[in-house]
Amino acid sequence: MKHKFISKRYWKDKSTPMGKVDELAKQFDDVIDLSLGDPDLITHDIVIENSMRDAKLGHTKYTDFRGDPELRNEIINFYKDEYDLSIRDEEIFVATSGCLAMYLALEAILDDGDEVIMQAPYFTPYPQQIELARGVPVPLDSYEEEDFQVNIERLESIVTERTKAIIINSPNNPTGNILSIKTMEGIRDIAVKYDLVVISDDIYTSFCYRKPFIPIVSIEGMKERTIVINSFSKNFTMTGWRIGNIIAPDYIIRTIQQINENLVFTAPSISQRGAIYALRNRDIIQAEIIEEYRKRVFYAANRIKNIPNLSVLSPKGTFYLFVNVKKTGLTSIQASDYILKKAHVLTIPGISFGKCGEGYIRIACTVGIEKLKEAFDRIEKIDILN
């Protein structure tokens, strides 16, 4: 929007199809929303009830600048128990959401004009977050024919003297792909060769349907050059609590703390208490969540495979499906719009996730099997998809 009181940086409209879903969802009274990754399941009672109790006991004030010490200790225990990784307290920062954590990390490491390579298709905020930190986003396209793995030769070909960092996201939003150990070792080799930082967006780590999650920070030689972004939003169905954390070398954490003190001071105390109970009771809380999303995503994938002009890779992780619509002859925006108008089912065009997302739509399996059945019963009736 061009206006004298608006910064010129924002005169050019930067909205994407992802940002228009609320408006689109209101077009019809019976829309089935498979767009945003906000789970229909609510936060577990263990988290809610214990957090409410702690609020009444006085946990309503600012916490330590790096986060509640009790939460930091639970994060240390988590990494030791799950990955046999020794994380020091000084390497932990508790942030107000994974999104803010990503921005803080970028702000801490980037100088003006530094380039950040982004695994693409990518989570839609990455480019603008990089630009907000005065960096330059550089997409690294991945393709279905390559199982959406990061191609190491292609990665090296776009490294320049201005490259500072590489952002990876595995399990990936939107593709659901998981990077192999071989791929992560290749990324490690490039990072070491060119002295780069790897920012690992570890948001969907609980949703790995074939093999247990392996963090890149656990790969030999990566701990000293990896920034891990964690969130409680998806792994614990705590989207509205806006709580996450960062694992990084202590000098980066100190810088992040200084930046954050001028933004939100500390993460919400009640949300931090919730995160403590989420981690402490993760075996109880997550088992049901993971199984529910496993059922949904495999059900949806099977329905898609029975629609002639649609296809999708077999699910590996997350609760998203990146559906190939190229046989329809429609662009991703046209296909998403057509499905909305004909079936009243809301999806996200693949172009929202970068140019290599063209020819796809993203489906979020954030409704139950019954609703998914209704959605695909409607979609199956669309002529152009058959």
CB 203 within 8 A of CB 233: yes
Kindly state the greatest CA–CA separation across the chain: 60
β-strands 32-33, 345-346 pairing: parallel
93 φ/ψ angles, rounded to the nearest 5 degrees: -135, 130
Residue whose token pair is 């946990």: 59
**Helix axes 369-379 and 282-305, enclosed angle (nearest 10):** 20
The domain ranges of the chain are 8-43+286-385, 45-283
CB 119 within 8 A of CB 149: no
Neighbouring-strand partners of residue 177: none
12 pLDDT tier (thresholds 50, 70, 90): confident
**How deeply is 361 buried, as exposed, middle or buried, from its count of CB atoms within 10 A (0-12, 13-18, 19+)?**
buried
Out of 12-16, 146-150, 366-370, least confident range? 12-16
Q: Residue 322 in 3-state DSSP?
A: strand
More confident residue, 12 or 230: 230
Q: What is the pTM of this model?
A: 0.95
As a residue count, the chain comes to 386
Q: Which CATH class is domain 8-43+286-385?
A: alpha beta
pLDDT at 367 over 80: yes
Residue whose token pair is 């169905």: 237
Closest by Cα among 300, 294, 384 to 347 = 300
Give the model's pLDDT for residue 318. 98
Percentages helix, strand, coil for the chain (3-state, rounded to 5) are 45, 15, 40
The sign of the torsion formed by the CA atoms of 27, 28, 34, 39 equals positive
pLDDT at 18 over 70: no
pLDDT at 26 over 80: no
**How deeply is 46 buried, as exposed, middle or buried, from its count of CB atoms within 10 A (0-12, 13-18, 19+)?**
middle
Give the model's pLDDT for residue 17. 61
Out of 7-11, 46-50, 149-153, 201-205, least confident range? 7-11
Residue 225 token pair: 């050059």
pLDDT at 10 over 90: no
Give the model's pLDDT for residue 21. 66
**How deeply is 48 buried, as exposed, middle or buried, from its count of CB atoms within 10 A (0-12, 13-18, 19+)?**
middle
Could you give the percent of the chain with pLDDT greater than 70?
97
377 φ/ψ angles, rounded to the nearest 5 degrees: -60, -40
Closest by Cα among 328, 332, 309 to 380 = 309
CATH match for 45-283 among 3.20.20.10, 2.130.10.10, 3.40.640.10, 3.40.50.300:
3.40.640.10
Give the model's pLDDT for residue 27. 77
- Mean pLDDT confidence for 186-199: 98
DSSP letter (8 states) at residue 96: S
The Cα–Cα gap between 18 and 222 comes to 33
The Cα–Cα gap between 168 and 228 comes to 10
